Structure formats: structure tokens, C-alpha cells
Structure 1
Amino acid sequence: MPDALASSSAPSAPPTPPVSLAALLAREELGLRRIAGPEDADLHWVHTSEMGDPYPYLLGGELLLTAGVQLTDPDHYVSQVVAAGAAALGFGVAPVYDTVPPALVAACDRHGLPLVEVPPPTTFTAIARAVWRLMAEARHRELRRVAQAQQGLATAAARPDPVPAVLRQLTARLDGAWAVLLSAEGAPLATAGRPPSPDAHEALARLARVVNPPQPEPTTSEPAAPRTAPTGTPTPPAVPPASRTAPATGPGPKTTPAPASGPSPKTTPAPTPPPGPAPRTTPASATDTAGGSHLAAYALAGGQRLVLGVAADRREAGDHTIAGVAVVLLSLLTTPHQGAAESARAAALVRLLLGADAAEVAPLLGADGWTVVHARPVAAPAGPDPLAAAALGAALGSALVDATEEGVVRVLLAGDARDIEPQPGWTLGVSSPVPASDLPAAGIRAERAVRRAEATRSPVVRDRAEAGEGLASLITPDEARAHARVQLAPIADSPALTSTLRTWLSLHGSWDRTAVALDVHRNTVRQRIARCATLLDADLDDADVRMDLWFALRWL
């Protein structure tokens, strides 16, 4: 392969996208000027060094800043900086030199290293701060782009034609790339976008064989071996999701493809492998460049052994993450569904429509208990959104989804699913697991939980009624806030009083612990609590009063 395959030996990439040298030079307040070398470079970080030979201390991709304190041989110095992989050299004019040494300028031109003149008023710290700020801005743009792509791909996966829709959305998010879903034999099953050149097409087919090599036929000692492998023969391992292995960016193939089937060149037969699944020796993703296109191939999970191929005119930060989301969705969409499960679900719905009880129908769906989830979108829609609801159900692992007219999505999950993770763009309320006969009550508890989640701005709130902690959920958030505003109005404008009262109540009325927590004198705590009691006209020695105030403070 002319480019790189997935490799664990490649150096770790920086956590943020690189910054263009041109973008740094455009910051007029720095006054930087390129005086030698190429016009642009990718800066991954900033390093300052006055070593005569900084080679051992560079990682590669740096903007190396120096004032030339130990600069004696410019040509040797620049050659070492280039050998270490530095992206550019910044030379500070003053206090050592009045101008950039001409020999250093000539050496940078000769070795192809961008040289930037740093004027006396500009500090190296200011340059580093500017680079970090540019990196943060680039990272923010990348995260926003990936988040928008994830939402678009999830919506596409919920369309009636999900596989073509996901491919079309992927090509749009990768700026007009070409995407193809290949079968185990390499035949295109679905495509989207503008096809690449024939050379790129052929290289992409080779990449697909790297991540999905032909499976060797099982062999036995008998001349006419049956097609089914005998007991004890290891079966080919399943392909893991492509998101587990990121494509490398270094040069040269690093991952050895699976050996082709056929007799060994040695005369001694190979030893028989032990029973059990063999470890995966092929990468889950691979990249290449051919015909002016950047190519990538990703192995889909599941038994279909499908491959997603992508060809783009350029490769940007975040492209691999976006493609990984498409791989996960396509893996789910192309996994064969169980016909028996679908038949049982249809039978259950028919019985419900004909008047059967939920307890009678529940066994057909293969679950002893059920968990109800109520979800509200963070950005409330005008009405029900079936596509978003279906995408949420797929993320939670259930096809039993209902989008109400109020924009609330109700999901029914089999078993105890209270440990579900937060879902981006949704606020979730999760009930305790219940038998089928108690589903209506579980729905009420899930509704209360999602209201509590919205009130506390939590992504997920789980029903805690079984633990005796669900009394607060019996009151609507609007009523609770109104009660808190009225009861605490006399002290609401004093943060010191409300903070002291909240801390004092949480520490069970301890003067000393409250003083330590607030970093004030214990007499100050006593004075503030006495002031609260006077303004609220409340007996703070009464446990009922304390409980009522604590509830109000939680909603203030």
C-alpha cells in the first residue's frame, strides 16, 4: 500500500487539529513575518528551546521558538530541527541578534523549513497563547461539525430507505466524497456521490480486501472433506466494529494482512491450531491515497462481512469520526433481523388490538420485566418527530417507540434498563423495572422522572420510588418553584443568607462544620441563621420546618 494501514506503533496524534502557519501569520498583533522556507505548514504545538541541538527534545510538528543563544552552526542546527520533524522555526530578534542571521535564512531555504521572524515586542508566550487559541477554535469547529454529522446520519438511518440515505448523508458531510457499501465478495451493494478515478476505485477495492480478507476454506485430513468444519476446528472470527481501530497517519503499511490460503512453502506441515476462536490479524480500517483521492475502508460488524469504502478529494479532521458513526449505523441496519422475533411482536400487537391483557401479551415479547423511558427533546419540536423517535429507540435498543403529540417520546425496554446512558439532544426519565401488569404505573413514574430531569437540568433521572426517595416527584416542577419563590422571598435577594441556610441544613445544623464549609467564623453562621429565622418567621428547631425549607431551597 502506498499509504498507511492501521497501526498501533504510529506516534500518538495531538488531541486537537493542527493550526495553519498562515493563520498564525495572519494575527497582525503578533507582527510575525515569514522570511524563508515554504509558505505554510501544519503546527501541532509550540516549543521554546535555546539548546544548541534540540533534536532529542522535539516530538515533531512543533513551531520551535529560539533567540539563537547557542546558534553556532546554522546549517547543522536547521538539519537537526528538520530531522526531528519540526514544522517551522521562529527566530526572536533581540536580545542576542539584531536581525535574523543570513546563514540561518539560507539554511532554512536549503532544507525547506519555514522560518518566521519574531519582532522584539512579541514574546514567545504570546505566540504560544495565539497557537493554543487557534487550536481551540479549530477543535470547536471540528466538534460542531461532527455533532451535526451525527445528527444528520441518525436521521438518515430512520428513513424508509436507511442504507442509501446514510450513504448520501455521509457523502454530503464529507464534502462531496464517494461512498460505497461492498459485499463480502467486493461487489458494490449501494453507492452515493461522484465516483472516483479508476485508479482510486481499484485501490479502494484493495483496501476492502485488507480489512476483509478472503476466508480460507476449512480443511481436514480426509481427501474429500465435507463443507462443514469438524468439531474442534476454529471458526473465522467475527469482524469487530470499525470504531475500535483508527486509521494510522504514518507512512508505510504497518499491519500484516491475513495470509492467503494455500500450501505452505515449507515441506513441513503447519501445526494444527488449538480449538477456539483465532485472534483477529486484520485491521478494522485502512487508508490509502491514489488517483488524487484519499481513500478509507471500514469493516462493518456482524456476520455479513460488509465493507464501507470512502473516497474524498481531501481528508480533514473529524472525517474518521464521522465515518465511524456511519459504520455503526450501517452495521445495525445491515444486521439480519430475527423473523421469529418480528412474528412474536406482530402477534402481541394483534392480541392487544383484539382486547387481550398486557400480562397475557408480554410473554410473546420475551421479557419478564419492563422499563419505561420518557424522553423530551432538549430543543422542543412543534409536534411529534417520528424520525427522531425512531433514532432514539434504535440508540436505546428497542423498536417499541411512541412519539406523542406533545413531542414526548415513550420507549418500552425489556428487562431492567435503568443503567441506560444519556442520549445527546434528549432529557430522559427512566422507571423502575415492573411486570407487564404494572406498565401504566411505570409510565407515570417515568413521566415524573423526566419532569424532575428537566427541572434539575439533568440528562437522565431514574425512578427512585422503590428506595423511598420519590416524594419530590409527586409535585410538578412549576408548583415546586412557585412554592419556593413565595416561601423564600424574604431572603431570596441575599446570596449569603440562602447559601448559609442551605449549607447549615445540609450539615444537620452543625455550626462548626458550616463555618468550615463556608470559610467564615462560627459566630457569623449563628448570626446569619438567626437572621434567616427572623425574616422567614420560622422556628428552625422544628424538623418539619427544616424539611420544608430544604425542599424549597432545592427548587429556588
Structure 2
Amino acid sequence: MFPTLNALLAHRPLALRPLAGQAQDGADATPVTWAHSTDLADPTPFLEPGSIVLTTGAQLPVDAVDGGATAPGDTVDAYVERLRDAGVLALGYGSDVVRGCPPPALVTACDRIGLPLFEVPYATPFVAVAAWVAQERAQAGRARADWGVRTMRAVTSAAHRLDGLAAALATYAERTVTEVAVVQEHRVRGWDAAGRALSPAALATPGWALVRREADRLLRDGRRAATSQSRPDAHVTFQTLGRAGDLRGVLVRVGTDGPDGVEAGVLGAASALAGLALEQDHRAALARDEVASAVLALAIGGHADAVRAAARRLGTPLPTAPAVVVRIVGPADRTAEIRSALRPVPCFHAAHGGEVVVLVPAGGVAAVADVVGVVDAAAVSAGASDPAAWADLPRAHREAGIAAADAAPGELRMFSDLAGRPLDWVAMSEGSRDVARSLLSPLRAAPDGPADLEPALRAWLAAGCQWDPAARELGVHRHTLRRLVERSGRLLGRDLATMDARAEVWWALRAVDRARTS
């Protein structure tokens, strides 16, 4: 600790005696920057905050009383106020040099204005006070430097543990009594001043939300940067990690004050270790992703039994059969976010063919559906297969793709949902809709096609090709309906007396209806 006013007054060899004045709140703990001896009426241009002024009082009038002048137009109160406003911690008066004791006006002014006044006895030279301050500051500086070396060793030693990044930053937070966090694009980890991991609830507080916002801005900017923010209750520093254009994260330090020179050196080392750890994690993750993609490709290719051991080595074993295959479709820039959101879900997932493919136990589909709805409801959709044994995973993968193609944005569609409406499934693809439009084009080209012929066909086919119910539905005579249907068949070049022709036209009408509503 650097020397303080209380420590100076408590140093018995100097025999300093408090006389008047109460220090402002916190001043007793403020480090003393230096002790200056001066008899100038206004020494403030040569002082810095935290100084102690030592004076013999030669600039004060011999008969100074309350309000006595130190110079024409000046007062003792003004002299004391100047010292206080300049950040002077205290005033030391040397007795028995110019006069025996401090003038009453000085004592009264220090009491009124709140500047501590202490007596320096004749036997204690001013240089002894200054020497003590210098010695204490030098000793504190050496102690601080030693602390920096010990802290640096502790942080680097912790970096060699199994989870080196977490151990190193937890050690830094504990040694510096600060909070530290690493902010990545889809992940935030933090540690409190006791070196304990911050909970998700703690990282979701308004203060940390502001920190996350600034860190996200730095990540989006993509440049190496070191910035800081001063707030009423904290000082926050930000240091990007990684190369420009390829940042891995942002190291955040939250303390009551900014780091001094010694701690800044430790923080720089911690930043370097964190950047190296994140880069190693990134490369390891890429390697794991490649292996996971290979494992998944073999599993959905019918070789799940052969790759189960490899999946276990990745730390995410394949689920027990029967399993459900989920295919999540979305923009390429959402793949990492989707996979990050899937981490808490008990499943095996990997990138495959531009999609994220998930193998999940039959009862775990709802958790995957929650991820799909949260990541980007406007751009991500998914399909899930029926539960399948290991040997049936290729079929399940196809089922999930069919369901995904039918899913709306933000929705996970079950393949089993399509079993009750096979015509909708047949009409799903854009190609099938084009075929349907081509089939119906002669009908739609006729002058009365859209207004009369197409509605007549719809009503007749919907009524099971029965004339009377369909005619009543349309409000026309049955013979009129028959004439419209027969004319439609001639235009389409199909014999609507056959089941095949009826099924084709019914499918085409359903397909164009689906295209109109999708």
C-alpha cells in the first residue's frame, strides 16, 4: 500500500501532532504523492493532487487573526481554500521557526474548510517528512512489483491446468479483486473477485448486458482494439483476442478502478494466454467438427454401429435407438449459432450438406424444436423423422429432409404429420407445382376456364364425382355440371371417366392451391 496521511501521522519518530481540520471522505485512504515545503502565498501551480504542504508560516502575518490577510486583498481562508481545491491532503506547520505556534486564523480556517492541519516540531526537519514519503512510496512500489511477478507466475501456472483458460482468468480475478469475462460470439464466461464462475443469471444483469453490447460491437468491427469505459460504480476495460478480421473473443475486466502499470502488465499476459487458448480451442473445434461430420455421414449411411465408439470419443455419444433424425435448414452464417444453441441438448449433431443434422432420442425432439424457434424464426426451419433403429437411419434421414422441405420458417415439422395428407407432400416441390400448372394450362386458357370450368371440376371431384351433390354445391343443374366437366376433360386431353385421369387432375388442383397459399 502507498503511504497515506493516517500512516504519516502515526509514524512516531516524526512526532507529528494533528491540530485541526477533518479530512474529506476517503482522503485518509488516498495515497500521498509527495511532501512539499513552501512558504509561497499560492503554491498551487506547483502541486499535484495528493500532496502534503509543509510551511513555516512566513507568508502569514504575525498578528494574523480570524480573517487576517496573507497578502493585500487576500485572507487565510482563501489560502486554505486554494490548497484544498488543488487536492492537497493536509497542511503541516513547522513550529518555532518563524513563530511558536500556528496563527489562530490558520487553525480556524482549516477547521472550517476541512483541511487537516498538523504540527511539525522544530526537531523534525521538513526533509525528514519528505524522505519518509519517498521511502514509503519506493517500498510500496517494490512491493507492488513483487505482487505483479507473483500474480504473473500464478496466472501462467494456472494456464497449464486441464481447463487452462478458466483457471488462468479465475486466478487473475481473485488476485486483482476484479471480475473478468471472455465474450465470444455465442458464448460468455465470467469469474468473480473470489475466482468463482459467474452464473448465467449474474451475466444477465443490466451491467453485464452493457458489457456484452460493447464487446459484441468490437467483435462485429473485427479490428484489434483495447478500450475502456468509466461508470459511476465501475471501470471496465475491453481487449480483443485474435487477429484482425478473425477475432476469437473479447477479454473484459471490471473493477472499481482502472489497472495501474503493474496490473496492466499482468492483464496483458492474461490477454495473450486467453487469445492463445481461444485459438487452440477454435482449431480443436474445427477438427472435432470434421470428425463429427464424418461420423454422422457414416451413421446416416447405414454404418451407425461402426462409428459409435468414435462418437463417444468426441464427448457426444450417439443416442440410444430408436433415434430421431432432425435436419435443420438455414443460412450458412447461422450454422455456428444453431450448433452453439444445441450444446445443452442431449444429442449428437454435426454439419452435413449445408445443414445441421441432429440425432436425438425419440423423446428429445421438443428440445430441438425450442432451439429452432429461438435461433432465427424467420430463416431457420427443420424436419424430424419417425423414430428409427440404427439400420434405418438412412431412411430416417430422407424422412427428415421431406419434413424440413414442408416446414414453415421457425417450425420443426414431423414426418408423421405428412402421413395424413400425402397429396400435400407430393405437391411440395416447386417442380411438381410447375407440372401441375402445365397440366391445367389448357383449362385456364379457355375464356370460361377460371370462372366456370375449374370450379366445376373442383366441386365434382370433391363430391366423389357425384353429379347431384356437386350441382347443388354450385347451384347449377346437373346437366350443366356434366357439360362443364366433359368440356374440361376434352380441353385437358384426359378421359375423366377413368380413375387415373381423375387423380391426376385432383392432384394438379391441390398443387396449384398450395402454391397460391405458400
Shared fold per TM-score greater than 0.5: no
TM-score range, shorter chain: 0.3 to 0.5
* TM-score, normalisation: structure 1: 0.42
* TM-score, normalisation: structure 2: 0.45
Structure of greater relative contact order (alpha carbons < 8 Å, 6+ residues apart)? 1
